[in-house]
Amino acid sequence: MDRLSGYIQHHLTDYIKRELDHGYSLDSVKDVLLNYHHHNIVDEAIKQLKSEGFSFPKKKKAGKTKMLDKRLFLETVNLLQDYIIRQKKRGYKIEGIKEALTNYGHSKETVKAAIDAVEYGVRPLFIEPFDYGRLRRFIFPISLVGFFIFTFWLAASVDESLVRIIALFFPTILTIFLVRGFFSTFRYKQALLAFPLFLILMYYLIGSTGQLFFEDVELVNLSVLNAIFAFMYSFFFIGESAEVVESEKEDLREAITHADAEALEEEFGKAKLSEREVDNIIEKRIKEESKGLQPIKLTVK
């Protein structure tokens, strides 16, 4: 009996580790095991894990919601439905499954849509996300016009040459053009913030010499003003696009990870996918419809 108990306990510890890795809380895993009448052995298995120094994952905070393109959203929901049905058959409660999926990184909207479809037969409803790409197309010309209006007004106010005023704000005007020009070439858009940072530092160093057009100017105030304008423009232009492709890849990867063999067979023609095959599927399904200022959309065949 002791040998059998030890054998079961060994498998329970492996089971607990695996389920924790999939995002379930220890309480949810314990409830399922207790439902299968593994009473004393469950506590012993948990004690064994603690004695081995196993690091129990802390409860994760829900990540920022990332809604998907409609067709990818529906595919993800379908895959999660299969996973939810399978987990319910294994004895997990719907709240535990919901917690596991959100802990694993799925958006609350995606998880809710999948659960509602399974529990209540509600057809998944896709809410079109705000298209920041359209707004971005107007930021560049509006900023450019605003810059020249400001410099004209300032030149008239202080009775100074317009050329000198524009020169004193060269970090701002260069940032407007550089961020716009290099936007499509940077994979991680936050890197574009290096442009205003470098330009402001260079501006201050050159201005410290007091030569060229920097004679008799309030360098600190002008540097701060340039920094405000340049970084405001950069943040507005970059917007929410910084890691949109990577986040969408992760959503699809997690959906495939949670899918059972039958769902994978139906969707991809194979019951089991290697890591390379998953990567290839994701790369094929996530394509930019256009570059530059056009918003990124996904196509799921």
DSSP one-letter string for 253-266 = HHHHHH--HHHHHH
What local confidence, expressed as pLDDT, does residue 68 receive?
43
Residue 61 pLDDT: 45
85-105 per-position pLDDT tens digit: 988 988 888 998 888 888 876
CA distance 230 to 192: 11
The better pLDDT of the pair 282, 67 is held by 282
87, amino acid identity:
Q
Spatial contact of 285 and 300, defined as CB atoms under 8 Å apart: yes
Look-up of token digits 């037969």: 121
More confident: 261 or 140: 140
Letter for the amino acid at 269?
G
pLDDT tens digits for range 106-155 = 778 888 888 988 988 888 776 665 566 677 778 889 999 999 999 999 99
Encoded tokens for 35: 């439902």
Q: Return the closest-CA partner of residue 144 out of 185, 179, 182.
A: 179
Q: What is the DSSP string of 44-88?
A: HHHHHHHHTT--PPPPPPPPPP-PPPHHHHHHHHHHHHHHHHHHH
Q: Cα(294)–Cα(183) distance, rounded to whole angstroms?
A: 11
- 189-237: per-residue pLDDT in tens? 788 889 999 999 999 998 888 887 888 888 899 999 999 999 999 888 8
Interior CA angle at 119 toward 115 and 123, to 5°? 70
Spatial distance between the Cα atoms of 246 and 284, rounded to a whole number of angstroms = 14
pLDDT, mean over the chain: 75
Distance CA 199, CA 49 (A): 54
Residues with Cβ within 8 Å of residue 173, at least 6 apart in sequence = 147, 166
The better pLDDT of the pair 286, 232 is held by 232
Rg (CA), the chain: 28
The candidate with the shortest Cα–Cα distance to 170, out of 123, 212, 141, is 212
